[in-house]
Homo-oligomer: A and B are copies of this chain.
Amino acid sequence: MYTMSQAQAIKDIAGGSITTPKGYKASGVHAGLRYSKKDVGLIISNVPANCAAVYTTSKFQAAPLKVTQESIAEEQKIQAVIVNSACANACTGEQGLRDAFQMRQWTAEKFHLQPHHVAVASTGVIGEFLPMGKIQKGIQMLEPGKEEEFAADFQTAILTTDLVMKSCCFSTEIDGKTVYMGGAAKGSGMIHPNMATMLAFITTDVNIESNYLHAVLKEITNTTFNQITVDGDTSTNDMVLVMANGESGTNSLTPAHADWDHFVQLLAKSCESLAKQIAKDGEGATKLIEVEVNGAINDGEARMAAKQIVGSNLVKTAIYGEDANWGRIIGAIGQSDAKVNPDTVDISIGPITMLKNSEPQPFSEEEASIYLQDNMIQIHVDLHQGNGNGKAWGCDLSYDYVKINASYRT
């Protein structure tokens, strides 16, 4: 997608967030859906923003996703997104849909927006109805601002069992002007009582048509958000939404624009940053695992093999146990649908080569043990079948994963 020299054109903005790009404000309040944590949040743009979104592939898409799709379908513009945690409004039938539309309507009224300029997202318990009185009260309480603490309020309001807030901010030059992109996400913490939901919201002041934005987002999602796995389960509520309000004043970006690649990198950096933060904060996780596969027959197969490895319970428990079990990596590769020659596989964990042309290599157990104590573990595989490359991210599988997911009621 992007090369190193291009990537240097992207700057990491320390302390930046979804409100750093021009024309965006945010808010997050405690509306009583949870005991004490903030639970209703909003991002709002000065003007209707071009936008793009991708959604869960689950066949049970939750009501808010349907409402958001309907909003975007009308004009491909979003000015605000309203989010609640604690209740996913999923598997809630007709009433759930009415509730999600009502949530959109209240937000439009409060901020004097067209209803179809409002996107809706929810995360939390499946099969329960939204507490609409609290949602209404929460929306009334929202007072968006631009300062760092407003972005933090939003970042907190969307969390469930996540341990940390997830955000990013990058900038680049387009038409000689500095443009910004900010992101906020919630991750793979299991929620009371049902599912891991991934939500990511990205704001930018770049000027780009929605159709181009959508094409790039889809492509980049395949190499970032779709390449993380915590437990292999897909939520009913997953959504990634990008708003581009054009407030930076640059010309509209198209693939023909000289700075097109800068924009693609900007979005790729943002998505990868949020995706890795989500993987790292997986339930019970103690380590981020990054798997890179090279030499597959194409990039898609490389990504598939990488995801199979990082999603293997055996690999995940081995990493948790700080054990250099390359046999489990072989097992995962052998099981993936990627084309493999059983006699030409290289595997290394960190700097240590363990398999070369499918033959076990002697290595220092002590050196391996020291490397595996790190909290970021890299696994590298070369299949020697072609030029396909891909990465995937996940986390280890610990006692706490079982504890969090088995014992919430007891």
A387 within 8 A of B: no
| B331 and A58 contacting across the interface, CB-CB below 8 Å | yes
| A233 and B332 contacting across the interface, CB-CB below 8 Å | yes
Interface-facing stretch out of A16-24, A152-160, A178-186, A315-323: A315-323
A127 within 8 A of B: yes
CA distance A59 to B340 in the complex (A): 7
| A320 and B402 contacting across the interface, CB-CB below 8 Å | yes
| A236 and B321 contacting across the interface, CB-CB below 8 Å | no
| B325 and A358 contacting across the interface, CB-CB below 8 Å | no
| A61 and B342 contacting across the interface, CB-CB below 8 Å | yes
A190 within 8 A of B: yes
Interface-facing stretch out of A2-10, A68-76, A266-274, A393-401: A393-401
For A233, list chain B residues within 8 Å (CB): 312-314, 328, 331-332, 335
A92 nearest CB neighbor, chain B only? B360
| B231 and A321 contacting across the interface, CB-CB below 8 Å | no
A406 within 8 A of B: yes
A369 nearest CB neighbor, chain B only? B409
Interface string of A300-340 (1 = CB under 8 A from B): 00000000000011100110111101111011111100001
A193 within 8 A of B: yes
| B327 and A127 contacting across the interface, CB-CB below 8 Å | yes
Instruction: Report if A313-B60 is in contact (Cβ < 8 Å); known contacts: A91-B355, A126-B327.
Output: no
| B405 and A331 contacting across the interface, CB-CB below 8 Å | no
Among candidates B322, B327, B406, B408, residue contacting A91 with C-beta atoms closer than 8 Å: B327
A221 within 8 A of B: no
Interface string of A221-264 (1 = CB under 8 A from B): 00000000001111110000000000000000000000000000
For A236, list chain B residues within 8 Å (CB): 330-331, 334
Q: For the complex formed, measure the closest distance between the CB of A115 and the CB atoms of chain B, giving whole angstroms.
A: 24
For A110, list chain B residues within 8 Å (CB): none
For A36, list chain B residues within 8 Å (CB): none
For A193, list chain B residues within 8 Å (CB): 323, 325, 327
Complex interface residues of chain A between 47 and 64 (CB less than 8 A to chain B): 56-61
Instruction: Report if A323-B359 is in contact (Cβ < 8 Å); known contacts: A232-B312, A333-B59, A402-B399.
Output: no
CA distance A335 to B238 in the complex (A): 12
CA distance A333 to B343 in the complex (A): 37
CA distance A91 to B56 in the complex (A): 38
Interface string of A96-130 (1 = CB under 8 A from B): 00000000000000000000000000000111100
Instruction: Report if A194-B328 is in contact (Cβ < 8 Å); known contacts: A335-B57, A342-B59.
Output: yes
Q: For the complex formed, measure the closest distance between the CB of A277 and the CB atoms of chain B, giving whole angstroms.
A: 21
For A358, list chain B residues within 8 Å (CB): 60, 91, 93
Q: For the complex formed, measure the closest distance between the CB of A315 and the CB atoms of chain B, giving whole angstroms.
A: 8
CA distance A317 to B360 in the complex (A): 35
A364 within 8 A of B: no
| B399 and A59 contacting across the interface, CB-CB below 8 Å | no
Instruction: Report if A330-B60 is in contact (Cβ < 8 Å); known contacts: A190-B314, A321-B408.
Output: yes
A-B contact pairs, 19 of them (CB 8 A): A57-B335, A60-B331, A60-B334, A60-B342, A93-B358, A93-B359, A127-B360, A193-B327, A194-B327, A194-B331, A231-B314, A233-B314, A233-B332, A234-B331, A320-B406, A321-B408, A322-B410, A397-B402, A398-B402
Contacts A58-B335, A233-B312 known; 19 new A-B pairs at CB < 8 A: A58-B331, A61-B342, A90-B327, A93-B359, A126-B331, A127-B355, A193-B325, A193-B327, A195-B331, A196-B314, A234-B335, A236-B330, A313-B313, A318-B406, A320-B406, A321-B406, A321-B408, A323-B408, A402-B402
